[in-house]
Amino acid sequence: MKEQASQLWGWIRHHRGWSLIILIVLLAGMGFGTFWTVNLARFGLPPPIGQDCGSIIHREAPPESTTRADANLQPLACFWQAYQNCQAATISQTYMGTDAGYTDTLTIERWGNHCAMYGQHQWQVNTNSGTDTFLCNQLSKAGDSLQVSDCDGLASFTLDPRDIITESYLCGIVGGSHPYRQPRQAELCFYTAYQQCRVGMIKYDAVAANGDEVERDFYIDNHCGIAYWRGIASQPESNLAACASLAMRADGLHFSQCGTDGDVFVPLVPSST
């Protein structure tokens, strides 16, 4: 049975035009409707999934978990490598919201004389849902992200690793007018996340001598390092810097070489800067 199935698939791959016509006729006769027949005519049969590169899951404010901060890098690297050689491979990316979400699934296939990506876009908004089929002809790399473009049936989009700002677990807020969790609990949570490369962040708020509240945010980035942000409400800054290392001592967290700020100390007993 397995050999017969293999032979059938081989015939389909070598007689794609006839296979498509036969399938369209069968689906139309079975009442599958205009949607499927039109998509089959435009994009052809779904290709074999090939190598399963895995799934990327995006979720804002995730609950504390054992998820590694670098978990999404491997699927992206796998898919990019497969595309370089136009080898069959599949990846999916899911965005999960409270009432809405979607999943894009991409499979690499050779389309004519070039490498293309056959895709499905599955979406859900409240109780409504649907599936769209598309074909993209270009994949490029920018940093850790992959740009999917030149698409028929869907706008260009990116396959991204975790957004460290919105997709990190908040260990706590130390100091300031709205602290969250006891400092020791918050700092131990973040230090553990750093040691184990988990999705975590911590905020440190302090009041400067001029009365401004200075916020310092620390995140575990997608490469298991520390990303750092400092801002003042009246002087917002948007750029992330990096800290070289982190040590936990009896008096608090000691971050070293954080951007242009140098060493930063987050005490167990918060005080003004």
Q: Do 100 and 150 lie in a common domain?
A: yes
- DSSP string for 86-106: T--EEEEEEEE-SSEEEEEEE
Domain range for 78 is: 47-159
Number of domains in the chain: 3
123 and 30 in a common domain = no
- Local confidence pLDDT in tens for the 273 residues of the chain: 545 445 444 544 544 444 444 444 444 444 433 333 345 445 555 667 789 999 999 988 777 767 899 999 999 999 999 999 999 999 999 998 878 899 999 999 987 788 999 999 998 988 888 888 899 999 999 999 999 999 987 899 999 999 999 999 999 999 877 788 899 999 999 999 999 999 999 999 987 777 778 899 999 999 999 999 988 655 545 578 999 999 999 999 999 999 999 999 999 876 644
Its pTM stands at 0.78
Say yes or no: 105 and 187 in one domain.
Answer: no
Quick one: 150 and 88 in the same domain?
Answer: yes
Residue that is written with structure tokens 């995006």 in the block:
58
Looking at the fold, whether 177 and 233 belong to one and the same domain comes out as yes
Say yes or no: 96 and 143 in one domain. yes
The number of residues in the chain equals 273
* Neighbouring C-beta atoms of residue 94, cutoff 10 Å: 15
Judgement on whether residues 207 and 128 belong to the same structural domain of the protein: no
